[in-house]
Chain A
Amino acid sequence: MGKRLVCQVADIPENGLKECEAEGGLKLVVANAGGEFYGFQAVCPHQDVPLCEGLFDGSTLTCHMHLWQWDIRTGEPRGIAEAPLQRYPLSREGDALYLGAEGTALDVGELFNGLAPSILEKLAGLARRETHEAGAMLYRPGDPAEDFFVLDSGRVEFLVGRGERTAPGGFMLKKGEVFGWAALLDGYPNRIASARCLEHSSLLRINGKSALGVLEKDPGAGFVVMRRLAALIARYLATSGVK
């Protein structure tokens, strides 16, 4: 789809928010941060609350319902928020804002969003797009953990344990979610869970060592990614008191 009109610049007050509907029907919340404009999904990823009713101080957007917060430039979660906002890049032409191409799973994802375009390009160059039917097995315990995956669409479920003795190990359903991240760690050469597509799913498969190679050449970006990976892993180890 080509460029789609979202709204007039004058519609969005300085350091304010407004819900807009782009041509073609996509609803988004548009923020004016000191003359820079950012577009995000219109409702909170937590409980479907309209984000235009939230609080915005010019840099952080807060959903008024449960105080989830995001960085307005990137949609990255802040504070107690458990999920990023899907970002829609806007371009300004004259007095109007337009919706550009939607971000890819890498751009919007929890690990890589906001990185320099040159790094994202290199990572995208390593990614192989795969589509799988419902029921397809991506890996089993003991399989080599060479690649990690970024979910584009669909749904992937994990099982821990083997044979008859298995237990659910969670599921992925949001664009940009990363799994199979053992491929980015030293000392975890094998899968410890199975991953199965529950629906028709589209994924990016990226070789862990090659991705680390890209990040090693840009330690700044590598540091950001490793910090996020540490936070992501900690979410799986945390207890209820942490949040």
Chain B
Amino acid sequence: MRIQVNARNRGYDFEALPGEKVLYAGLRAGIDLPYECATGTCGTCKAKVVSGRVRDGWAEAPGKKFVKPAANEFLMCQCAAEEGLTLEVSKFVYPMDAGACVPQKCIGTVRNSRALTHDVMGFALEFEEPRDFDAGQFVLLAPEGVAGYRGYSMCNFARGGRRLDFIVKRKPDGGFSQWLFGGKRDGARVETFGPLGKATFDPALGKNLLLIAGGSGIAGMMSILARAEEAQYFARHRGWLFFGVRTMRDAFFLDELSRYSGVDVTIALSEEDPPQNTRLRFERGLVHEVAKRAMAGKYQDVRAYVAGPPPAVDAAIRVLLLEAKLTTDNIRYDKYS
């Protein structure tokens, strides 16, 4: 099916498979259509039908509060073209860079699923072909045959690798999370679309790194650390990681983090006092407050990455803008909603 997109700066056209969501078809074609969550929540991929019809795959998507159906608006991540479609995106849209990892749909097999805490599991997906991505990116996951993607950040980094590592927090209403926690899943097949996301790190950046993660927001930070370590980045630049969890019972990846000698790691516990005699540094407080105390006066030449639940991300961004006076291009963030 032919889809034409009229953007503020130019037009694009591309083919979509029957039933394929407009956003995924465009991204697959190397067109950097606007999106943030890509799963129906944020409303960033809003567009307007000029001619043709779309079928809405999720009428109750939370992101629908940003669209006006009476004005023929729809979410590109939830709607598929029913016939040739012309749509309008009221933003500047560019082709992806030559070096970008163009998103695609692939099936992966679950390996090594294991409990990391009482409510966080780790697992890997193995693919038949290499799956390249940039450190800090995420992919959309759905058990094969089950509708409704959820986005999860990769925790590892390997160019040309066939394995992606993930962590998943147990959520009562979370489709993928519920499925993963609901039984032994090793060997099961999972549909994926990606890689996605612009909160990425490349060693060519050449700045000191400040990483602030709340809870499962640590996933993308682990990927960034792995990428940096591979390039011996911390021999030339400083690195700080602040990882916020409620209590020691909620902390994980502590062994992995203690192995990064070039990075100043602090675990922020919001609901209990820190333990004594530990290899890693622990502080009491919300992660953005702990980071603010520790980082005062150290913001020269810093790029910050923030990920976690939206309130934690917003609070950290406030510190980075108003206290640290970082410019917005040096604040990359991922809100997990």
Binding site for B on A (CB under 8 A): 47-48, 55, 57, 62, 64, 67-69, 78-80, 82, 157, 160, 167-171, 173, 235-236, 238-243
Known A167-B11, A236-B10; 11 more pairs at CB < 8 Å: A47-B43, A57-B322, A67-B321, A68-B328, A79-B327, A79-B328, A157-B6, A239-B95, A239-B97, A240-B95, A243-B92
- B135 → A minimal CB distance (Å): 15
CB–CB A240/B97 < 8 A: yes
The distance in angstroms between the C-alpha atoms of A241 and B90, with both chains bound, is 19
The residue from B9, B317, B322 contacting A170, defined by CB atoms under 8 A apart: B9
B-side contacts of A242, CB under 8 Å: 94
CB–CB A171/B331 < 8 A: no
A-side contacts of B66, CB under 8 Å: 47-48
CB–CB A240/B100 < 8 A: yes
Which residues of chain B from 1 to 22 have any CB-CB distance to chain A below 8 Å in the complex? 4, 6-11
CB–CB B7/A170 < 8 A: yes
CB–CB B94/A171 < 8 A: no
The residue from A62, A78, A82, A241 contacting B92, defined by CB atoms under 8 A apart: A82
Contacts A55-B322, A67-B328, A69-B328; A168 near B6 (Cβ below 8 A): yes
Q: Which residue from chain B places its CB closest to the CB of A236 in the assembled complex?
A: B9
A-side contacts of B159, CB under 8 Å: none
The distance in angstroms between the C-alpha atoms of A243 and B94, with both chains bound, is 10
The distance in angstroms between the C-alpha atoms of A169 and B9, with both chains bound, is 6
B-side contacts of A47, CB under 8 Å: 43-44, 46, 66
The residue from B11, B91, B331 contacting A82, defined by CB atoms under 8 A apart: B91
CB–CB A79/B329 < 8 A: yes
Which residues of chain B from 78 to 93 have any CB-CB distance to chain A below 8 Å in the complex? 88, 90-92
Which residues of chain B from 38 to 92 have any CB-CB distance to chain A below 8 Å in the complex? 43-44, 46, 66, 88, 90-92
- B9 → A minimal CB distance (Å): 5
| A–B pairs, 16, beta carbons within 8 Å | A47-B44, A68-B328, A78-B328, A79-B327, A79-B328, A82-B91, A82-B92, A160-B10, A168-B10, A168-B11, A169-B10, A170-B10, A239-B95, A240-B32, A240-B94, A240-B100
The distance in angstroms between the C-alpha atoms of A171 and B8, with both chains bound, is 5
A-side contacts of B95, CB under 8 Å: 239-240
- A66 → B minimal CB distance (Å): 8
The reply on B188 being an interface residue by CB < 8 A is no
- B287 → A minimal CB distance (Å): 18
CB–CB A64/B314 < 8 A: yes
- B246 → A minimal CB distance (Å): 24
CB–CB B8/A170 < 8 A: yes
The distance in angstroms between the C-alpha atoms of A67 and B92, with both chains bound, is 17
CB–CB A168/B97 < 8 A: no
The distance in angstroms between the C-alpha atoms of A40 and B94, with both chains bound, is 29
The distance in angstroms between the C-alpha atoms of A173 and B89, with both chains bound, is 12
The residue from B44, B97, B318, B329 contacting A80, defined by CB atoms under 8 A apart: B329
The reply on B295 being an interface residue by CB < 8 A is no
CB–CB B97/A169 < 8 A: no
B-side contacts of A236, CB under 8 Å: 9-10
B-side contacts of A82, CB under 8 Å: 91-92
- B22 → A minimal CB distance (Å): 16
